[in-house]
Amino acid sequence: QEIKQKIEKYNAKVTNCLLMKLNDDGTYTGFIKVHLKLRRPVTVPAGIRPQSIYDALKEVNLADMTDKRTSFYLPLDAIKQLHISSTTTVSEVIQGLLKKFMVVDNPQKFALFKEMRKDGQVLFQKLPLTEYPLYLRLLAGPDTDVLSFVLKENETGEVEWDAFSIPELQNFLMILDKEEKEKIQQVQRKYEKFKQRLQQTL
């Protein structure tokens, strides 16, 4: 009864037809939006066509059709809308997002955060893998300014590296090497500008 009242209160605030629905068994379904804020490239199958509606309905996994891999950056702040259940966990949301984008990286590389705004500040909190995002959405209401979900890279120290394959670890090393070189170039450019200004002043 309590959940029913919360859902009715939630649906009364909805303006985009994305209502929550209560099932006979007490569970409920609804929608969440997830912002993808990934700073590093993801690994996807190379030379694979985009997933069709037929593939989705038949649950065809296109990633299994080739061993070739390539890396690319997902658009920053891309938003994906998911229809989930009250029993769907954070872990399942992460796996579902990776499957939709045909990302073959280990799900342990990623974490789901809740983003909240308070007193003009933006606060991020990492969600446990066993948390239920739809329940959090129900409690917060449909306003994404109050609460939104963000997919980000997991903190390096929290990743269990033993769970990754050799090719994945080699890919990580390549990415880190690239990032290191970019940082070095940034520092070199910064001090080169300082040097030029000093020389001009002299």
Residue with tokens 């030379």: 47
Residue with tokens 């446990």: 128
- Does this model's pTM top 0.85? My answer is no
Residue with tokens 């809308």: 81
Do 149 and 197 fall into the same domain?
no
Do 139 and 176 fall into the same domain?
no
Token duo for residue 191: 């001090």
CATH code, domain carrying 140? 3.10.20.90
How many angstroms separate the CA atoms of 134 and 82, rounded? 10
Domain membership of residue 45 (yes or no) is: yes
Strand boundaries in 48-120, DSSP class E: 69-72, 78-85, 110-118
Q: Residues near 26 by Cβ (< 8 Å), separated by ≥ 6? A: 3
Do 147 and 178 fall into the same domain?
no
Do 185 and 107 fall into the same domain?
no
Whether the Cβ atoms of residue 134 and residue 30 lie closer than 8 Å to each other: yes
Do 146 and 179 fall into the same domain?
no
Question: What is the number of structural domains in the chain?
Answer: 2
Domain membership of residue 169 (yes or no) is: yes
| pLDDT tens, residue by residue, 99-122 | 888 888 888 889 999 998 877 788
Whether the Cβ atoms of residue 147 and residue 140 lie closer than 8 Å to each other: yes
Do 28 and 110 fall into the same domain?
yes
Domain membership of residue 158 (yes or no) is: no
Full residue range of the structural domain in which residue 170 is found: 164-201
Q: What is the mean pLDDT of the chain?
A: 83
Domain membership of residue 159 (yes or no) is: no
How many angstroms separate the CA atoms of 10 and 181, rounded? 49
| pLDDT tens, residue by residue, 40-73 | 788 877 655 455 444 444 554 555 555 667 777 7
Flag the least confident range among 86-90, 114-118, 170-174, 182-186: 170-174
Whether the Cβ atoms of residue 76 and residue 108 lie closer than 8 Å to each other: no
